[in-house]
Amino acid sequence: MDSLNILGLIFVLVFFGLMIAASVVLRQREGRKLREIPAFGRLRRAIGLAVEAGSRLHISLGRGQLLSPQSAIGYVGLSILDRIARSTSISDRPPVATAGEGSLGILSQDTQQDAAKYLGVESDPMRGRITGLTPYSYAAGTLSFIQEEDIGANLLIGSFGNEVALITDAAERRDGMTLGGTDNLTGQAVLFATAQEPLIGEETYAGGAYLGAGPMHIASLYAQDILRWVLIGLIVMGAILKLFSVL
Amino acid sequence: MRNLVYTAIAIGVGIVVLLGYFLQFDLLVNLRIVLLEWATILVATALLIGVVNLFIVHWRKSTTDQPNRVNSIALLAGLTITLGVAGWFGPTDPYSLWIFNYILIPIEASLMGILSVVLIYAGVRLLRRKPNLLSIVFITTAVVILLMTGPLFGIDIPGLAELRIWIGKVPAVAGARGILLGVSLGIIAAGLRILIGADRPYGGN
C-alpha cells in the first residue's frame, strides 16, 4: 500500500480525533472565545440591518462542482446561507442565493426550504437561482440580478475566479456591502482588491463558526489551528534541516 | 425519521468513498468508483435542472411587467435558438460552431475587456478605501509585475527581469502556499463536518 496514502489517512484521522476532542472540551467549558474577524462582525450587523430596513441579502455560492475539491467551499456557503435564512426568514424580504452550478442551485433551494420549514413560514423555491453555467455568464447573470433587486449586502462565498470583480463592482455601484471569500488564489487576490470585506485563506471556512452554526464548527476551527501550528513547525524544521544539508 | 435515513446514507457513502481513496482494497475501490459514477450522473442531471431553473426564472420575468424584461426575452431567445441548433445539428456542426465562435466568444471576450477596466478602477479604489501598508504592497507588486511582463517601449532596465522572477518564485509562491495550506485544512474540516453529520447540505439541519 502506498505510504503517502497511509500518511494522508492518518492525517485525516488525527484531524477527526482533534475535532471530537475539541467538541468535548468546548461542551465542558463556558464562553468560547474566537479570534476577532472584523468581516463577520460587520456581516452580523448587516444581517440585523437587513431585517430592520427590509432590504434583501444576497448570497452568491459560486461555481464549485459537487465532484471536485471546490465543493467544500460551496458547502461552507450553504451552511452560511442556512444561518442567514434562519435569522432573516421573518423579514419582509428573505435572502436570495445565486449559484453557477446546477447541484449547488438545487441545494440552495433545499437549504432555504429547510430553514423556512423550521421557522414555519412559506418558502419560494425561486429564492435559489442559477444565474449562469459558465464563469462569465454566471457573473453577467448575477450582476444583472444585483442591479434589479434592492440588495443590502452581498456575500460571495464559493468558488470564483477573476470574474468575481464584475459582481463586486455591481454591488459597489448599488452601495451594498460586499463580503467575499473563495478557495481560488486568483479569486482571492481579486476579492482583496474589490470586496469591502475580503476573507483570506481559511477565514472563509470559519464562517459557520462565527455565525453560530453549531459547536462542531468551532471544534473544527480549533483542530485547524492545532494542525496549522504542526504544519508550520514541520515546514520550519524541514527548512532548517535543508539549510544544514541534512535533508 | 426520514432525515435520519438521509444522514445515515450520506455518512455511509462518504466513509466508503474516503476509505476507497486511501486504502487500495479491491472491494472498496470498486465501490468507490460505482458511487462516483452515480454521483456523476446526478451532477449531469442537476446541470439540466439548472438550465430549466434559468429558463423558469427568466420566463417569469419576461411574462410579468418587470424592469429589464427585454434582457430576459433575449436570454430565452438565445437559449432556445442555441439548444435547437445544437440539439438538431449536433454540437460540432458548423452552425453550432458559428454560434460559439461569433456570438459566445466575442461576448466573453468583451466581458474580459470590461474586467480589466474594473480591476484598474478597483486598484485605485483600494488605496482610497484601505490606505494601509498591505494595500500599498499589493498595488506596488501588481504594478511592478505588470511593467515587467510587457515590453516597456523597448527599454531594458537592468535588474527588473530578475526582480520579477524573484517576486514570482519567492514571496508569491510562499504566500500562495501558505494560503493553500489554510484552504486545504478548511476543505478537510468542511468534509469531516459533513461526514459526521454536523453539516447537512442535503437537508435536515
- Enumerate residues 148 to 177 of chain A having a beta carbon within 8 A of any beta carbon in chain B: 148, 162-163, 165-166, 168-169, 172
Q: Which residue has the cell 496549522?
A: A228
pLDDT band at A90; cut points 50, 70, 90: low
ipTM summary value = 0.89
Does residue B63 belong to any structural domain of this protein?
yes
Does residue B114 belong to any structural domain of this protein?
no
Does residue B25 belong to any structural domain of this protein?
yes
Does residue B136 belong to any structural domain of this protein?
no
- Enumerate residues 118 to 157 of chain B having a beta carbon within 8 A of any beta carbon in chain A: 118-119, 121-123, 125-126, 129, 138
Q: State how far the Cα of B146 lies from the Cα of B119, in Å rounded to an integer.
A: 13
**Is B199 within 8 Å of A15 when comparing Cβ atoms?**
no
Q: State how far the Cα of A190 lies from the Cα of B163, in Å rounded to an integer.
A: 23
For chain B, the farthest-separated pair of C-alpha atoms sits apart, in whole angstroms, at: 73
Question: B70: domain range?
Answer: 1-89
User: Torsion angle of alpha carbons B41, B46, B47, B48, nearest 10°?
Assistant: 100
B36 touching chain A per CB within 8 A: yes
Does residue B167 belong to any structural domain of this protein?
no
Does residue B77 belong to any structural domain of this protein?
yes
- Enumerate residues 65 to 124 of chain A having a beta carbon within 8 A of any beta carbon in chain B: 65-67, 69, 72-73, 75-76, 78-79, 82, 99, 101-103, 105-107, 110-111, 113-114, 118
**Single-letter amino acid code for the residue at B34:** V
B49 touching chain A per CB within 8 A: yes
Q: Is the pLDDT of residue A148 over 70?
A: yes
Number of domains in chain B: 1
Q: Which residues of B touch A144 (CB under 8 A)?
A: 68, 71
Average pLDDT over residues A64-85: 88
pLDDT band at A241; cut points 50, 70, 90: very high
**Is A140 within 8 Å of B111 when comparing Cβ atoms?**
yes
pLDDT at position A245: 85
Does residue B101 belong to any structural domain of this protein?
no
**Nearest residue on chain A to B119, judged by CA atoms?**
A165
**Per-residue pLDDT tens for A179-225?**
999 999 999 999 999 999 999 888 899 888 888 878 888 999 999 99
**Per-residue pLDDT tens for A105-133?**
999 998 988 888 888 888 777 788 888 88
Q: Is the pLDDT of residue A31 over 80?
A: no
Distance from CA of A1 to the nearest CA of B (A): 7
**Per-residue pLDDT tens for B79-115?**
999 999 999 999 899 999 999 999 999 999 999 999 9
Nearest to A203 by CA among A174, A97, A215, A191: A191
Does residue B195 belong to any structural domain of this protein?
no
Q: State how far the Cα of A128 lies from the Cα of B165, in Å rounded to an integer.
A: 45
- pLDDT beneath 50, residues of chain B: none
